Structure 1
């Protein structure tokens, strides 16, 4: 985890997102880059009886001013926070160990994150919440489906970064196996790992016990918990058990079922993304 990209949006999760990104950078001695993506304003804003209506110059100027001021506020917050955490600017002579820098992108945030994020080991984003435009669900999904990297999704309450006890939400799937591979640096540093399975959420694949044995062969301390399931959704069982077992982080493969199916019928990934209160490591 030597290169970390943290997506910066004005939201209730900003402080927690930065705290977790800095916590990971300190743990791994990483380079941390703060990214804010400025939207590109369209040349037209509406369609009338005579076709498209061009935006008035003062309206375009207002959009640009708002976008510039938002970017400046986020940059100030990022630089102030990493300075307080003792992370030097990457460009400073003699910089070793954890360091930070800033990058301003332009365009659709989902596209920028999905493309630019491919060169980082980890992308840190805030957890979207209902009835709020930020943190952006589109940005999260762009990074998840297009970057091909490990994501850390941070809820607003997760301001105290810890990684001593990690729960793997195992369902036997390719997606979760891929996520575990990417998350191995976290697992190797954890004091204990819980391999947690919910019987009705399993797909054809190895059991939780089999995964636990393989992790133990790597010298990791592993506890296997197989839950028979009940009338609660699989995602809720996972979160309830993660809280009961004291997990600091959850590792979860994203969208074993199709995203469309989960949007219509619900699913473990959708439930966890909507309700989790500890950081989640995800990949697809």
Structure 2
């Protein structure tokens, strides 16, 4: 995926949205790509089935009005943030949704739809080169983020998680976590867009992380076909935690981005027992690209 042309950025709220907009703006400028910002409003009518759960019709109507009011307020706040952002970044062209966008410069659009985010967002992600998502507020929220997981599991495309802290610089130092799995292979392919122009690329591997599949030497060969020079480093778990060891290795490299496969084990297993994916989602403070 060297040629990035369309980036989807779903914004469920204003939480960490500005940091994600800045990251998306940088990506759009770097790739001369289009950044499609999408907000999904919840449908208050989805509450109607609660009438069969012991609530009176009047109570359900009140809940629907409350949900609609909250949805309208959130939509207004997200759109206001978008308008303010593009007013401050005049070097990116604002275009209407679904219209042709300029091929030689960065562009941005904003669209609001109503419905189920877990369905609508993956549909749009399937026709985007990758989806950029804001970093949720807390560790608990990260591991249960429906936007993140709906894209990972239902779009067939990679997802990039923006850091919580706004980052203005370009991606220059890329770490690729390799364990031989199909998920890691998909992430590696997506990483080419950044690795090609990076100052330094490092492939990280660990015996406790490795699964059946190609070894790290094969990854170096693959990258060389794309004129990417990379080194390899073995990292060790920290306090028997592979995820901690992986993030420590990224810090040692001063990485701007971590690339990795997601959920080689089942998501349920990782939510219950922990896992590398879960630890990275909850503790990474750099841009993370995941694929499944």
- TM superposition score normalised by structure 1: 0.91
**Structure 1: which 4+ aligned runs deviate by more than 4 Å?**
45-49, 56-59, 91-96, 131-136
Partner of 1:87: 92
Partner of 1:207: 215
Aligned-CA RMSD value: 2.4
Cα deviation code 1:193-243 (max 9, x no counterpart): 100111211001222222113212321121111225453311110101101
Partner of 2:21: 18
- List gaps (5 residues or longer) in structure 1: none
- Give the 3-state SS of the residue equivalent to 1:199 in structure 2: coil
Partner of 1:247: 255
Cα deviation code 1:111-152 (max 9, x no counterpart): 211222111111110223437768970111001100111111
- TM superposition score normalised by structure 2: 0.88
Say whether the 8 Å CA contact 1:192–1:220 is kept in structure 2. Answer: no
Question: Which stretch shows the higher mean deviation, 60-69 or 181-190?
Answer: 60-69
Cα deviation code 1:162-190 (max 9, x no counterpart): 31110001111110101111222111121
Residues 1:29 and 2:32 aligned together: yes
What is the rounded CA distance, in whole Å, between the counterparts of 1:230 and 1:68 in structure 2? 46
- Find 1:271's aligned residue among 279, 285, 288: 279
Distance 1:7 1:136, change over 3 A: farther
Distance 1:177 1:2, change over 3 A: same
- List gaps (5 residues or longer) in structure 2: none
Partner of 2:8: 5
Cα deviation code 1:56-96 (max 9, x no counterpart): 54553332222112112211211321332221112499945
Say whether the 8 Å CA contact 1:17–1:124 is kept in structure 2. Answer: yes
Say whether the 8 Å CA contact 2:41–2:75 is kept in structure 1. Answer: yes
- Give the 3-state SS of the residue equivalent to 1:200 in structure 2: coil
- Give the 3-state SS of the residue equivalent to 2:165 in structure 1: coil
Higher strand share: 1
Distance 1:253 1:64, change over 3 A: same
